[in-house]
Amino acid sequence: MVEHVPDKPFALLAELTYACPLHCPYCSNPVEMDNFRNELTTEEWQRVITEAAELGVLQLHFSGGEPLQRRDIVELVQHASNLGLYTNLITSGLGFSPRRAEELRDAGLDHIQVSIQADEQALSDRIAGTTSFERKHVAVDLVKKMGWPLTLNVVLHAQNIDRMDKILEMAAAMDANRIELANTQYYGWAGKNRTELLPTRDQLDRAEIAVRDAQAKFGDRMEIIYVIPDYYSKFPKPCMDGWARRQFTVIPNGDALPCPTAHDVADSVGIPHANVRENSLGWIWESSPLFQQFRGQDWMPDPCRSCDRREIDFGGCRCQALALTGDAARTDPVCHLSPDHGLVEAAVTAANDPTRPHNAPMIPRPNPSRIRSPLTLEVK
């Protein structure tokens, strides 16, 4: 394989822990969470953050699980801020107390993104798998009181997408600066629950109307980002702007991934994992077999290799190809030109079956306390 010299990355997603007080059935965290008990220490994360800055990273996004369950979150934010990185906390809002908020503000945190499951309490708490709706509203109020820019993130699926107009009204009432309406990506626990989560065409049509109406009503004061499910697209999304081209992820056990859901790709193609405990971040980004594996176009099969869109969508999502076909090197089955597109068509047909049950029970993400490490803190 030809080695491709990459551009400098601009963003790092630091998944500090997979511990989380929520049990969302659409979670993209890996199903085998027992494999990630051995979390990086404070000192190891500080070294990763330093190496990221030296590599050219400008934005650092703290995520999980729930990053507030790491008792060193303030220390890590402070370290990143001292290096001049723009810092963003991606949180459920649970554990975001006034004291913690003041500590994070003093540490230099730049931005907060809060997840919301729905606009009304019963549905939101059912999806989250725990009583959390009112606590999220308290957290949002605190974010605004402390003067941070606020992004809301709502993962959409069949069980909440019909409330799109109400969700957008709630976001406007919260004075959100930005709302990300992202249809579920079917990895991890979401992959196990795809039958219950994939919306119908009619649901999508109604949601798009609600988004357009809200953009006309609130667009001058709230940015609205709406991402349709790629199962309904003709072409795949340009996943991560291409494999290991602009951003990457480090997960709790120190594995570095070209995208947040690439946990199984190295094993599937028979190459070593790239772990920050074993190699520098610079070497991983520039030379590791995993990060080189799907860079450029040499790896592409037809129809990608001869397609005019190969530099637009880069063959689609490697993780989705692996999840659906068992082969990360195949064309993303979302593409209508893929020889495996029938897999996606079958899922869409099943989702639009009028006899499909509504609000069917789903498999919840398991109790994260079972994987909590000594470096994490129970949310009170």
Annotated binding site for [4Fe-4S] cluster: 20, 24, 27
> Please, which residues have CB within 8 angstroms of residue 355's CB and are 6 or more apart in sequence?
none
Q: Looking up tokens 């790709």, which residue turns up?
A: 265
Pairwise CA distance, residues 48 & 62, whole Å: 13
Instruction: For residue 153, give the 3-state DSSP assignment.
Output: strand
Binding site members: 20, 24, 27
Q: Which helix (H) or strand (E) holds 282?
A: helix 281-287
Q: Residue 187: name the closest of 29, 23, 25 by CA.
A: 29
In sequence order, what are the residues at sequence separation of 6 or more whose Cβ sits closer than 8 angstroms to the Cβ of residue 327? 268, 321
Nearest CA to 26 out of 133, 114, 120, 155 is that of 155
Contact residues for 189 (Cβ-Cβ < 8 A; gap 6+): 24, 25, 26, 27, 28, 29, 31, 363, 364, 365
- Radius of gyration (Cα) for the chain, nearest Å? 20
What count of other Cβ atoms lies within 10 Å of the Cβ of residue 99? 8
- For residues 211 and 110, give the distance between their C-alpha atoms in angstroms, rounded to a whole number: 28
Measure the CA–CA gap between 284 and 258, rounded to whole angstroms: 10
